[in-house]
Amino acid sequence: AGIGGFGDPWTDPIELWHRVVDVNLFGVVHGVRAFLPIMQQQGVGHIVNTASMAGLGAAPGLAPYFATKHAVVGLTESLFLELEALGSPVGASVLCPGFVKTDLMNKEPASIDSPLGPLIAEFFRTGVDTGIPASDVADQVVAAIKAGQFWILTHEEMRQGPVERMQRAAAGVNPTLNTGS
């Protein structure tokens, strides 16, 4: 489960944040808490938590979405390390896809009343409409589980962005708005 939670994160009612955190973050927490004990007891299993490339970056107007996706990456990496430290037979991976053809935008309002709302909605609608098929993502997830791979980054062309972000962080360079020009 996942929602964009589009709106103005700084002036809309705080319920916008609660809704996005409840679905995007607590949905993952509840899933791990429900299935990890069973997998541990059975001595086999692999948890794949879905974050997003948004969990490795930032963008204006989407703070709740990006914050929850960052949280899922951190939660899953911590889980992976904990399972490794305990010698658990259960594995963990984090799925960070770019745009995938899903019904994500069907859960969002038709119009977004915020300064960046129309641009964000159009960006996401176009991205989802032109995204990779979900079956391609599924194939990559299965291959990653078989390989014991933690990171599942589905879009090769997007992998350099997080690397460049960390290089800017290491160099103490402030974030910049990438307008594509």
Active site residues: 65
Extended strands (E) in 9-52: 45-50
Give me 176's structure tokens: 């910049």
Give me 23's structure tokens: 């679905």
Contacts of 9 (CB under 8 A, 6+ apart): 16, 17, 61, 62, 63, 64
Measured between its terminal Cα atoms, the distance across the chain in Å is 33
In b/e form, how buried is each residue of 66-82, taking b as 16+ CB within 10 angstroms?
bbbbbbbbebbbebbee
**Cβ–Cβ < 8 Å for 104, 3:** yes
Closest CA to 91 of 134, 137, 142, 55: 142
**Cβ–Cβ < 8 Å for 72, 53:** no
Number of residues that this document lists for the chain: 181
